[in-house]
Structures are given as structure tokens and as C-alpha cells.
């Protein structure tokens, strides 16, 4: 890694992902000589903790990026659309967690275990993929390299933290209200999320899929770098605080057995295989929360097609699905000397 010490900004530092970004920068001892926290005017002046010291949240303004080397953005699509080009013009490299730039052909969309080389063509904006997509493509990459994946059918079980801190509060409040025989209030989600499942993440599109579902379809192809992979997704919000789960069925061109998949994944960085049905060992959000790895289990041959595999993938959506992946991108940029 380069010996350079950077001025790093976290945009959206008071949010669920922004707070985790600060935590991950600290835990991984990212080489920053200064870390700045930015958010909206509403929370300017709030104190956040970093490496045992208090840092004061600054209001995000167009001049915020002067003298800043790297900015990790997680303040929503409209903030990214407006401010990422301003930062980029000021020579600050942006790693953006929103969906604003992901499908822009000029912008690399990167999961460091999968397509780190794509960083080499960056023009100061790099997109961090959708949380459900990140955790799916990490274990699929070595399988694709070995057996070429033709088709993916995925159903997700996504935690409320993916929607942000207000959604975490909404689930907490609804659970408390229901245990006290009170009516629930729905502000973030259109229906009660406590003790329920909502087959609706992000907005519905003209084709009746949700935007989240189409993110999984389009981003998977871009990250793996193979437009011929067919992907179909159903994304569901479930009453879990941290950790997305996914049931994934793949069809490959070449035969690969469940046993071979298990062996491949055991070797692959960032993946931990938890797969021993007889001992009741399989991944679950309660184990994945707070962890860095993508956990894979329930790996089975799908005998209904010639070359098919089923698996169950779980990861902490705020860490590998967002903050950790963003910091890993920054580390990879340093390693490849792509930060001027
Ligand atoms: P703020 O606390 O000032 O509202 P989450 O995804 O958990 O809801 O967090 C969203 C993050 O994005 C928060 O840090 C929030 O800051 C920040 N944010 C939202 N709108 C803006 C804006 N217009 N300018 C800067 N930061 C924003």
C-alpha cells in the first residue's frame, strides 16, 4: 500500500452507512491524516467519534472538497448526482454508495474480489454496487470463472438497515407498539414491516419489477463483465435489522458439482463456507451481522436441470454490502497507486 496519508471525507456521516464507514476506516487503520464528516445542514455541529476523538459534522457545500483526496459518499442519489462531479473536478476521488453513477459506462462499478482492474480506468468517480448484488457476485465469481454461469435466479430477504436509520427505528417502534397492543405507524415503508415481508424494495418500474430487482440484473453483468449472463430477481424486505440473505439458483455451461463449488468457495477471499446440514450449520443474519465475510451455505446440486446449483448467501449489508466494500475500493486504489 502507498505510504501516502490522505484527507478523507465521509459524506452522509450521520447515516447508517456513513457511521459504519467511519468505523471501518478506523478498524482497518486506513492511512488518513484527517477524516472529515459531512452531512446536511440539519446535523452540522453534531459530534461523531473517530479513533477516540470527537469530530464535528460539517454541512456539505460545494467547497467541501477543496484539499480533500478521497470522499466516501452515502447520502442518497440526489446528493451524489450533484456533489460527486464537483468533488471529482476538485481532484477528490469519490467512492459513491448510491445508485446515481453505477450504470454510467465511464464509471467503474467495483467489488475488489471480483473486478479490481476496472478501477484503472476511473475518472475520479467510482461506484459502490448495490448491497444485494455485492454479496451475490463475490461467491459467483470463482464459479463463473470455472464453469461459466448462464443464468441466475435470486430471491432476497433484505434487512431494514439497507433503507437507512429511519427504517431501523421504524421496525423497533412497530415491534414495541405491537407488544403493547398499540397500532403501528408506517412512515418509511408502505405497510407494517414488523412480523411481515414486503415484496417491494425501491420503486416499481414499467416492467413491474422493482428498481432493486433491476439493479441486481444490470449490476451483476457489469461487475462480472459478461452481458450474456441472464439474471432474474425478486427482492423482499424482511423484519431483520442487519444482514441480507439470498436464495440463489444458478445454471452453468460446464458441469460443476456442489462438492466442487464448496471447495472453490473455501479458497476464495472474502467468502466463508458454512455448510454442514447434519450439524445444523448454515449462514444466518444473526451470525453475519458485524462480520466482513460473505457467508455461503446450503450448497446443493439442482437436479431439475443439467448443470444447476442452489445456494444460500448471507452478508452484513451495511459492511460488505456498503461501508466495507467502499473502504476496500479505497485500499485497492492506494495499492494500485491510482490516487494521485
Ligand atoms: P443528516 O443526518 O443531516 O440528515 P440514512 O441513509 O441512514 O438515512 O442517512 C442519510 C445520510 O445522508 C445522513 O448522514 C444525512 O444527513 C445525509 N444527507 C441527506 N440529505 C443530505 C443533503 N442534502 N446533504 C448532505 N447530506 C445529506
The structure's pTM equals 0.97
Domains of the chain, by residue range, sit at 6-128+322-335, 133-317
Query: For the segment 66-89, what is each residue's pLDDT rounded down to a tens digit?
Result: 999 999 999 999 999 999 999 999
Query: pLDDT category, 4, cuts 50, 70, 90?
Result: confident
- CATH entry, 133-317, from 3.40.50.280, 3.30.300.130, 3.30.1370.100, 3.30.360.10: 3.30.360.10
Q: Which of 38, 76, 166 to mutate to test the pocket of ligand 1 (most atoms within 8 A of CB)?
A: 76
Q: How many CB atoms lie within 10 A of CB 61?
A: 12
Percent of the chain with pLDDT over 90: 98
pLDDT of residue 2: 52
Which protein residue's CA is at the shortest distance from atom 9 of ligand 1?
A: 15
Of the residues 10, 13, 15, which should be mutated to test ligand 1's pocket, given the most ligand atoms within 8 Å of the CB? 15
* 249, 308 Cβ separation under 8 angstroms: yes
Kindly give the residue spans of alpha helices, DSSP state H, lying in the chain: 16-27, 77-89, 131-147, 165-179, 211-224, 258-267, 285-288, 324-335
Q: What is the CA radius of gyration of the chain?
A: 20
Residue 100, pLDDT above cutoff 70: yes
Q: List the one residue out of 173, 68, 191, 124 whose CA is nearest residue 333.
A: 124
| Residue 131 a catalytic site member | yes
Which one from 92, 122, 131, 144 is the annotated catalytic residue?
A: 131
Burial class (CB in 10 A: 0-12, 13-18, 19+), 45: exposed
Q: What is the mean pLDDT of residues 297-304?
A: 98
Q: 75, 300 in Cβ contact below 8 A? A: no
* Residues whose beta carbon lies within 6 Å of some atom of ligand 1: 12-16, 18, 39-40, 42-43, 60, 75-76, 79, 164-166
Instruction: Look at residue 180 and tell me whether its pLDDT is greater than 70.
Output: yes
CA distance 194 to 196: 5
pLDDT of residue 340: 84
Ligand 1 atom at shortest distance from the alpha carbon of 18: 14
What are phi and psi for residue 292, nearest 5 degrees? -95, -25
Residue nearest to atom 6 of ligand 1 (CA): 164
Q: Given this model, what pLDDT does residue 323 score?
A: 98
Give the Å distance between the CA of 51 and the centre of ligand 1: 22
* Architecture of the domain whose range is 6-128+322-335: 3-Layer(aba) Sandwich (3.40)
Give the whole-angstrom CA distance, residue 102 versus residue 109.
6
* pLDDT tens digit sequence for 26-50: 999 999 999 999 999 999 999 999 9
* 16 CA from centroid of ligand 1 (Å): 9
Question: Is position 122 annotated as part of the catalytic site?
Answer: no
**DSSP H or E stretch at residue 53:** strand 53-56
Mean pLDDT of the chain: 97
Position in ligand 1 atom list of the atom nearest CA 78:
23
Amino acid at each position: 500500500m502507498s505510504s501516502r496519508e490522505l484527507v478523507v471525507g465521509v459524506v452522509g456521516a450521520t447515516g447508517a452507512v456513513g457511521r459504519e464507514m467511519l468505523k471501518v476506516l478506523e478498524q482497518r487503520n486506513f492511512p488518513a491524516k484527517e477524516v472529515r464528516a459531512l452531512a446536511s445542514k440539519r446535523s452540522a455541529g453534531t459530534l461523531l467519534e473517530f479513533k477516540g476523538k470527537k469530530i464535528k459534522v460539517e454541512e456539505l457545500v460545494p467547497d467541501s472538497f477543496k484539499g480533500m483526496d478521497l470522499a466516501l459518499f452515502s447520502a442518497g442519489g440526489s446528493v451524489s448526482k450533484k456533489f460527486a462531479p464537483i468533488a471529482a473536478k476538485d481532484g477528490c476521488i469519490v467512492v459513491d454508495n448510491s445508485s446515481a453513477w453505477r450504470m454510467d459506462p465511464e464509471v467503474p462499478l467495483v467489488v475488489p474480489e471480483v473486478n479490481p482492474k476496472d478501477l484503472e480506468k476511473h475518472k475520479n468517480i467510482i461506484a459502490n454496487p448495490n448491497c444485494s448484488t455485492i454479496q451475490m457476485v463475490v461467491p459467483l465469481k470463482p464459479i463463473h470463472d470455472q464453469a461459466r454461469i448462464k443464468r441466475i435466479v435470486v430471491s432476497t430477504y433484505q434487512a431494514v438497515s439497507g433503507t437507512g436509520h429511519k427504517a431501523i427505528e421504524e421496525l423497533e417502534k412497530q415491534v414495541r407498539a405491537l407488544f403493547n397492543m398499540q397500532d403501528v405507524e408506517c412512515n418509511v415503508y408502505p405497510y407494517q414491516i414488523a412480523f411481515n415481508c414486503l415484496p417491494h424494495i425501491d420503486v416499481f418500474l414499467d416492467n413491474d419489477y422493482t428498481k432493486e430487482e433491476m439493479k441486481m440484473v444490470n449490476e451483476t453483468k457489469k461487475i462480472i463483465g459478461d452481458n450474456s449472463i441472464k439474471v432474474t430477481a425478486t427482492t423482499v424486505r424482511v423484519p431483520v435489522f442487519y444482514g441480507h440473505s439470498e436464495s440463489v439458483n444458478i445454471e452453468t455451461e460446464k458441469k460443476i458439482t456442489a462438492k466442487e463449488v464448496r471447495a472453490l468457495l473455501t479458497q476464495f477471499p472474502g467468502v466463508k463456507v458454512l455448510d454442514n446440514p447434519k450439524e445444523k450449520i448454515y449462514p444466518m443474519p444473526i451470525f453475519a451481522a458485524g462480520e466482513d465475510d460473505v457467508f455461503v451455505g446450503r450448497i446443493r446440486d439442482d437436479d431439475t436441470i443439467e448443470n444447476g446449483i442452489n445456494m444460500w448467501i448471507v452478508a452484513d449489508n451495511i459492511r460488505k454490502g456498503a461501508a466495507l466494500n467502499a473502504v476496500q475500493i479505497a485500499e485497492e486504489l492506494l495499492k494500485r497507486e491510482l490516487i494521485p
